[in-house]
Amino acid sequence: MTPRRLFVAGSSGATGRLVVNLAGSLAIPCIAHVRPKPGRIPGPGQVVFELSDRPALVTALRGCTTVLQLIGTMRSRFASGDTYETSDVGTTRALVEAARAAGVDHLVLLSSVGAGRPVGAYLRAKAAAEALVRDGGIPWTIFRPSAFIGVGRRPPPGFASLTRFLGLRRYQPIPLEVLAEGLVRSAAERAPLETVLEGDALWAWVTPSSR
């Protein structure tokens, strides 16, 4: 298999930071994309431009094998100009098109549990992003976790115990560190291809020792 070189979109988010750090600790070459801000200077391994800048994006992706699309937004960011269409769908479209032009051979998308039967604007955006990845002509892997645990993220009180008690593993909260390990493993192994990881399949992938 071609030696892996990762491009991480959403590298400044909680999951993205863990993915970049873990890839570095495993000596997996990694390019971390961050959005421009006044005075921002790229750090080691970082590139700074808008994903809508197609020439810059294609140039950055050349030589990369894998794109990890970890970008997503929340309603709390709408006031600053983010929307589900621009942050979840638009960036995915830009990444898929540029990845195809640059010869990338694996797309890893961080989606959300429920995107298979979307209800509400958030899940409809996730479903639209998934469709772009599945139809993009590049082998893909889609992660559909539920709520996150860690780095200031906590599910509602009792939520984790309730999901375990009811056997609703697809909704069981996942530690960000565990998710990041699963994402990096997928990128490093280029696997599992053409697969949506949700519920038992997701937990089997992120906790292989328990299989």
Q: Check which CATH number belongs to the domain holding 100 and give it.
A: 3.40.50.720
What does the pLDDT read at residue 211? 43
CA atoms within 13 A on the CB side of 119: 2
Confidence of residue 148 (pLDDT cuts 50, 70, 90): confident
Give the length of the chain: 211
What does the pLDDT read at residue 162? 46
Confidence of residue 126 (pLDDT cuts 50, 70, 90): very high
Range of the domain at 145: 6-210
What does the pLDDT read at residue 166? 45
Question: Rounded to two decimals, what is the model's pTM?
Answer: 0.88
**Domain assignment present for 195:** yes
**Domain assignment present for 12:** yes
- Give the count of beta carbons closer than 10 Å to the beta carbon of residue 49: 16
Say whether pLDDT at 90 is over 60.
Answer: yes
What does the pLDDT read at residue 74? 65
Confidence of residue 152 (pLDDT cuts 50, 70, 90): low
**Domain assignment present for 172:** yes
Q: Total structural domains in the chain? A: 1
**Domain assignment present for 1:** no
